[in-house]
Structure 1
Amino acid sequence: MTRTRRVLVVSCVLRSFLTIRVQLGYVNYPVNAFIPRPLAIFRQDVTMSQDWIGYSYAALVSAGGIVGYVKAGSVTSLVAGLFFGFLAGLGAYLMSQNPKDVRLSLGTSGTLAIVMGMRFLNSWKFMPAGLMTIASFLMLGKTAVGMFKRPHDS
């Protein structure tokens, strides 16, 4: 099956799914409420705030691993960067769902702060160890402050 045919099949399935829902009178509901169960991870609750700083931190960690692999050929940097980037992204997602669920974000940013801080103290090179140490400590502080902050009443 060619790529064009696959895209056409997927778009036809989604279009018919949404058309059936609209014909049944579900127009009052947002379109993302009709996402099937396997894709439920992509649903967004409009009232929840997203942890964009956490997602940016996860992207920075992942990009650092990829750049380390491209520049130095370090497979260890690639694996560690993608692994910790995934954990940081998952932690940001969990904090977006429940602002008090900070364990994964604290663990990830704390581990990276310690490991990259030790690398920075041994080499005194700002890139990448110094940058990741500063970013990890900032993320650690942001997460710790968010842990003690009261939720807003609305």
Structure 2
Amino acid sequence: MAVDWLGFGYAAAVVLGGFMGYKRKGRSLASLIAGLFFGTISAYGAFKVSTDPHDIWTSLAASGALALVMGLRYKNSGKLMPAGIMTGLSLLMVVRLLIF
């Protein structure tokens, strides 16, 4: 059984991003909640991929939804941090899940 380290790392990055948004945006509770929500789902998805490498659907849904939401935010704001970074990470995660 191989551990999905990339999946768990992605989940940690999502949680950390939500916490940073909370601290940097003057206690933005929405950033914190979204980071915890998507990070938890991503960690659960990484756990499922670790137990069954073909069970990618939870991770794919979480990273796909985050890529879409953050991609729209990046398109509207043009800011690389955090929207552009999270869009890129999420798209890389989607590609990784679909290829492997």
Question: Under TM normalisation by the shorter chain, which class is it?
Answer: over 0.9
Residue correspondences, number: 99
Question: Given the two structures, how large is their TM-score scaled by the length of structure 2?
Answer: 0.98
The equivalent residue for 1:49 is 2
Q: Shift in Å at residue 106 of structure 1?
A: 0.6
Higher helix share: 2
Q: Shift in Å at residue 69 of structure 1?
A: 0.7
Question: How large is the Cα RMSD of the aligned pairs?
Answer: 0.5
SS of equivalent residue, structure 2 residue 2 = coil
Matched, 1:119 2:78: no
> Which deviations, in whole Å up to 9, do the C-alpha atoms of 1:27-52 show, x marking residues without a partner?
xxxxxxxxxxxxxxxxxxxxx10100
Q: Aligned ranges for residues 97-116 of structure 1 at < 5 Å?
A: 97-116=51-70
- Larger Rg computed on CA atoms: 1
SS of equivalent residue, structure 1 residue 101 = coil
Q: Aligned ranges for residues 1-150 of structure 1 at < 5 Å?
A: 48-72=1-25, 73-146=27-100
* Aligned residue type for 1:142: R
Q: Which has the higher contact order (CA 8 A, sep 6+)?
A: 2
SS of equivalent residue, structure 1 residue 99 = coil
* Aligned residue type for 2:2: S
Identity %: 48
Structure 1 stretches of 4+ with a deviation exceeding 6 A read none
* Aligned residue type for 1:123: S
Which 5+ residue runs of structure 1 have no aligned equivalent?
Answer: 1-47, 147-154
Residues of 1 paired with 2:89 and 2:80: CA distance? Answer: 12
